Amino acid sequence: MSPPIPEGHIPTWVGVGGSPQSVVRAARFGLPLMLAIIAGKPERFAPYVELYKRALEQHGQQDLPIGVHSLGFVADTDEEALEIQWPYYKEQFEWAARERGWRPPTYEQFLAEVDHGSMYVGSPETVANRIATTMQTLSLSRFDLLYAVGRVPHDRRMATIELYGREVIPRVRELLAAVPETGHPPAAAVRS
């Protein structure tokens, strides 16, 4: 639990997408680190977590929180979440691909991100397991979910927010509380 914020102060985090210089700058200024992970395996950011901790120490700063900000979508079932999110994800990333010169996304790439990467898409249990694993792997104190990538209809966005708040977050807390007893994070759910 964080100490109360003094009146007139706004908590500030430094968002980093992969630049070691940004990680060191956050530590130098004594600001919490928020890793923005939008693609690839989250564990590839472990060197940045270690760099941040070393830089905090070198700059005489106290330990500070580290978080991750990633994409996701929660529905009642894994199948429903995939079915709803995919067309909007595809549309969004096709636009980005045209603008930035990337290859357009494929469904197989989307599924790989969901199963092993930084897309937290599925049922509350699946998403909670994936988040808890990422939090344990990277020693995080915070996880921010950018819900509903693309132009997902408002009612679907509200449903994912509801599931995230009522089911995913409490389940992540349960899973993380159980880690010290087992010595390792829960296995992330992956479709076969």
What tens digit of pLDDT does each residue of 124-138 get? 999 999 999 999 999
Span 138-155, pLDDT tens digits: 999 999 999 888 899 999
112-115 contacts, C-beta under 8 A, 24 or more apart: 113/39, 114/82, 115/190, 115/191
Residues 151 and 91: beta-carbon distance below 8 Å? yes
Beta-bridge partners for 192: none
Is the CB of residue 142 less than 8 Å from the CB of residue 93?
A: no
User: Do residues 42 and 70 make contact, with C-beta atoms less than 8 angstroms apart?
Assistant: yes
Q: What pTM was estimated for this model as a whole?
A: 0.86
Q: What pLDDT does residue 96 have?
A: 85
How many other C-beta atoms can be found within 10 angstroms of the C-beta atom of residue 78? 17
